[in-house]
């Protein structure tokens, strides 16, 4: 079978790897000069750094299996990490039960209810039930109004870039479960992993195995459309040339797929076009000295434009990134965000203004670089009551399959969810049964 894969991000490359291992001929088409998509790297004076911060959790077993299979296990490192909270001008540690029980922004009763919420999420297993409960309602029930107002609502507002958030409980439930899976129990320490050379180390290793198995990888090659004849996908058009394939697998964001199939069923194109995503504005500040002890510092103050300070060199040993200290300052953006249109200089100005308020003693001469990174399609949004609108792996066009981050739900977009989805896609594509979405 000859397969054409649209998109050379983690999804596309992992799909190609598994299909080639199953003995199929594969072409990957990637429109950018390099593969990797959101998980690609920046070359900073000869040092590879993740364009966006990427951690692998100690519980991400599909990722770790791939890392082993592709021979880069010797570049995997485990580190104990810490989280913090910024509230009303103060930084608080937020790691151990003691931190929880002494967290100053909450009273004793509220602290207890917050801890209960985290524990409760681990025992709840019914994703379908979580999908029917609005997120604030679920949080209020266990955490209470005070904790919702002080902690959860600001975090939700930050994460979704909106005052009122119309998403199901699944979002926070899924995140709490993922974060707690890095611990052996509520009392143990948080362990995370990274690959020396960043996420791209794995993507590059996958691509090398693909090349050894005869996969053709074309970068700088946007797919212009999926060719459909007599209602069936028969290949792709690239550079004005039609290339035949027995199957086409699209891994790109859903609105792009709608544009790639002008000849496809209109109701299907509409379904793809209406899938919504949050974007991200994520400056990377390179410092010549450390800033905090935290991997993530969560921010609840709505005046601060970025929503976290992610100091990845509290996970990654600085010697693996040229001795630099890497601080990512992300803000997730709603689809119509005005901030998305800001030029880099304005982003720097606004971000630094608030950054200096947060860290009044900050020595600006320690900033070596401020690199504004942005992406439009990052985290799929799934409003209440729309799970039946998630596209299926097998599209209504015979011969065409879809595998993108919209289909990760209820998981959030991350490498573990992507590489796990790939396994389901392979089962469907090769007709080995399994769920179709």
Binding site for ligand FAD (CB under 6 A): 6-12, 29-32, 37-39, 52-55, 222-223, 251-252, 256, 280, 282, 330, 375, 378, 404-405, 413-415, 418
Q: Which C-beta is closer to ligand FAD: that of 65 or that of 288?
A: 65
Which residues share a beta bridge with 84? 93, 297
As a three-state string, the secondary structure of 237-273 is: EECCEEEECCEEEECCCHHHHHHHCCCCCHHHHHHHH
Q: Shortest approach of ligand FAD to residue 415 CB, angstroms?
A: 3
Q: Which C-beta is closer to ligand FAD: that of 106 or that of 248?
A: 248
Q: Shortest approach of ligand FAD to residue 241 CB, angstroms?
A: 14
List of residues 6+ apart from 316 with CB closer than 8 A: 77, 79, 194, 326
Q: Which C-beta is closer to ligand FAD: that of 73 or that of 149?
A: 73
Give the three-state DSSP class for 166.
Answer: coil
DSSP string, 290-304: ---S-SEEEE--TTS
Give the three-state DSSP class for 372.
Answer: coil
DSSP letter at 322 equals T
Q: How many CB atoms lie within 10 A of CB 93?
A: 16
Q: Which C-beta is closer to ligand FAD: that of 147 or that of 257?
A: 257
Q: Which C-beta is closer to ligand FAD: that of 148 or that of 316?
A: 316
ω into residue 410 within 30 of 0, thus cis? yes
Q: Shortest approach of ligand FAD to residue 406 CB, angstroms?
A: 10
Q: Shortest approach of ligand FAD to residue 104 CB, angstroms?
A: 28
Q: Shortest approach of ligand FAD to residue 98 CB, angstroms?
A: 26
211 vs 217: CA distance, rounded Å? 8
Tokens of 163: 């005052």
Q: How many residues does the chain have?
A: 437
Q: Which C-beta is closer to ligand FAD: that of 78 or that of 109?
A: 78
Q: Which C-beta is closer to ligand FAD: that of 31 or that of 113?
A: 31
Of 377, 34, 69, 5, the closest CA to residue 202 belongs to 69
Q: Shortest approach of ligand FAD to residue 388 CB, angstroms?
A: 22
Q: Shortest approach of ligand FAD to residue 36 CB, angstroms?
A: 7
Q: How many CB atoms lie within 10 A of CB 262?
A: 10
């Amino acid at each position: 079978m000859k397969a054409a894969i649209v998109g050379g991000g983690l999804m596309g490359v992992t799909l190609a790897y598994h299909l080639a291992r199953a003995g199929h001929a594969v072409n990957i088409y990637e429109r950018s000069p390099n593969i990797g998509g959101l998980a690609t790297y920046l070359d900073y004076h000869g040092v590879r750094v993740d364009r966006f911060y990427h951690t692998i959790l100690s519980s991400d077993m599909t990722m770790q299996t791939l890392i082993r299979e592709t021979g880069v296990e010797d570049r995997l490192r485990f580190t104990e990490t810490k989280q913090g909270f910024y509230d009303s001008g103060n930084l608080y540690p937020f790691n151990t039960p003691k931190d929880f029980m002494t967290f100053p922004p909450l009273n004793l009763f509220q602290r207890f209810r917050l801890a209960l919420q985290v524990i409760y999420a681990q025992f709840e297993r019914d994703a379908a039930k979580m999908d029917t409960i609005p997120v604030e309602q679920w949080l209020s029930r266990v955490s209470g109004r005070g904790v919702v107002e002080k902690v959860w609502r600001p975090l939700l507002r930050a994460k979704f870039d909106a005052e009122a958030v119309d998403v199901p409980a699944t979002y926070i439930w899924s995140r709490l479960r993922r974060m707690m899976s890095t611990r052996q129990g509520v009392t143990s320490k948080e362990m995370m992993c990274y690959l020396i050379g960043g996420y791209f180390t794995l993507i590059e290793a996958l691509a090398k195995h693909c090349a050894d198995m005869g996969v053709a990888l074309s970068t700088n090659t946007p797919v212009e459309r999926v060719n459909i004849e007599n209602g069936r996908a028969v290949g792709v058009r690239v550079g004005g040339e039609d290339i035949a394939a027995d199957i086409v697998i699209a891994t790109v964001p859903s609105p792009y797929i709608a544009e790639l199939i002008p000849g496809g069923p209109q109701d299907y194109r509409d379904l793809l076009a209406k899938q919504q995503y949050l974007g991200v504005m994520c400056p990377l500040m390179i410092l010549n000295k450390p800033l905090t002890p935290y991997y993530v510092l969560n921010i609840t103050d709505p005046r601060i434009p970025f929503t976290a300070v992610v100091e990845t060199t509290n996970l990654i040993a600085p010697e693996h990134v040229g001795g630099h200290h890497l601080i990512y300052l992300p803000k997730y953006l709603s689809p119509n965000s005005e901030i998305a249109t800001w030029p880099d200089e304005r982003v720097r100005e606004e971000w630094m203004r608030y950054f200096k308020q947060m860290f009044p003693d900050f020595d600006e001469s320690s900033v070596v670089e401020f690199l504004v990174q942005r992406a439009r399609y990052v985290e799929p949004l799934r409003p209440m009551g729309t799970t039946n609108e998630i596209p299926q792996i097998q599209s209504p066009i015979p011969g065409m399959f879809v595998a993108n981050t919209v289909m990760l739900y209820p998981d959030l977009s991350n490498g573990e969810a992507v590489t796990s989805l790939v396994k389901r896609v392979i089962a469907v594509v090769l007709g080995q049964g399994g769920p179709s979405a």
